[in-house]
Structures are given as structure tokens and as C-alpha cells.
Chains A and B, each alone.
Chain A
Amino acid sequence: MINPVFVTVAEVALGLAAAAAIYRIAKGPSLLDRMLASDVLLSIVVTALLLDMAVNRNLNNLVLVISLAVVGFIGSVTVARFVQDRSVPDDGTGRRETEDDR
């Protein structure tokens, strides 16, 4: 059996990490920041599933872990692809405003 101290440390760390990632998703400021934060949240969820499997010594979630990795990859690539087409033409002020700033 794994020492419960390690498990507790890991659980608390994952909980705080998830809270911080959700804060960044809520705050933004841009769509890409939110996408990046949701990628981090996804990897936190995957880590939590793996932790659960290690503590209970089973492989119930392994398919879920692999499919979550696929979904996260497709999601972030798709968003990154679409965000390029949403920029407003340059207005000469240097910093271009984009729709996802709002």
C-alpha cells in the first residue's frame, strides 16, 4: 500500500492546481490563454485518474486516459487553427485588436 501521506500530498496539490487552472480559464484574457489553461486542467484530470488507478491497483480508467489525451490534442489544435481567422485588420496603432480580446 502507498503511504497515505504521499497520496494526500498529491490530492491536495491536484486540487489546488485545478482551482488555479479554472481561475485562469475564467479570467482569460484571451481565448488562447483559456485554451492553454483547459489543456492544463485536462492533464490534471488525467493525473488524478492515474492516481486513482495507482491507489486502487486497477486499470479501469486507462482507456479514458488515452482518449482524453486524443480529445485534448484535437481540441487545442482546432482552436489554435480557428483563432487565426478571427483577427481584425491592422488599424495602425501597433497592437491589433482581435475578437477574442473582448
Chain B
Amino acid sequence: MTAENWDSVVDVASGILLAAGALLSLGAAIGMVRFPDLMSRMHAASKPQVLGMFLVLVALGLQLRTWVVWPVLLLAWLFQLLTVPISAHMISRAGYRTKHRHPELLSEDELAAVVAKAGEKKTAE
């Protein structure tokens, strides 16, 4: 294949990646509006933060046509990969403790036994 052909292949690939990343954001936002409680909204919210960001960063790297930006883009994504689970954990913990949940929608609540046990311990003291 000639250089021009490769150029257009890379352009189409990055265009598809950009559109896919943006549609993941749209999916998360629709989930924010449609889902009934905090926990299921969190499930929707983390998609664009990790996968969507990854797709758009790859598209950017392809468009710039140079290898030197890839480490920076990888760093940006790795940082996102480290911080998103931590903030999701903190939000879900706070949500559980302040009773922002619908127990009737859960099929199993594995944390309930632990919380009950901790409560017993506290009253025994």
C-alpha cells in the first residue's frame, strides 16, 4: 500500500475511535438520567472515564502521526485508570452509609452482614 492509502486508513480509524469515545460519553449520560439509584448510575458513569478516554487518546495519538506523544497519552490514561476506581469506591462507600440505595433492587447485599456485625461490636463495647 502507498503512503496516501495508509494515511486515509489511519484517518478513518481515528474517526471511528473518536465517535465511539463520544458515544460512550452519551451512553453514560443517558444512564445518569434513566437509572433509578446511585449504584446503578455509578455503573454507567465509569465507562467514559476509562474506556472512552482510552479510545479518544488513541485517536489523538493516531492523528498526531508521531511516536513521542504516546508516552504522555499513556500517562494520562494510566492516571485516569488509578484515580477512577478510588473515587468510585469513596462515592459508593459514602452512598452506602448514607442509605442512598434501594435494597429491594439488589439481588444480594454482601456488605449488609459485615455492617451488622460491626454494629453489634460497637454496641457491645
A32 contacts B38, CB within 8 Å?
A: yes
Interface magnitude class on chain B: 35 or more
Q: Which residues of B contact A (CB under 8 A)?
A: 11-12, 14-16, 18-19, 21-23, 25-26, 28-30, 32-33, 38, 41-42, 45, 48-49, 52-53, 56-57, 59-60, 63-64, 69, 72, 75-76, 79-80, 83, 86-87, 90-91, 93-95, 97-100
B18 contacts A73, CB within 8 Å?
A: no
Q: Which residues of B contact A32 (CB under 8 A)?
A: 38, 91, 94-95, 98, 100
**Contact (A17, B49) CB under 8 Å given A6-B19, A50-B60:** no
Interface magnitude class on chain A: 35 or more
Question: Binding site of A, secondary structure by majority: helix, strand, loop or mixed?
Answer: helix
A62: nearest residue on chain B (CB-CB)?
B72
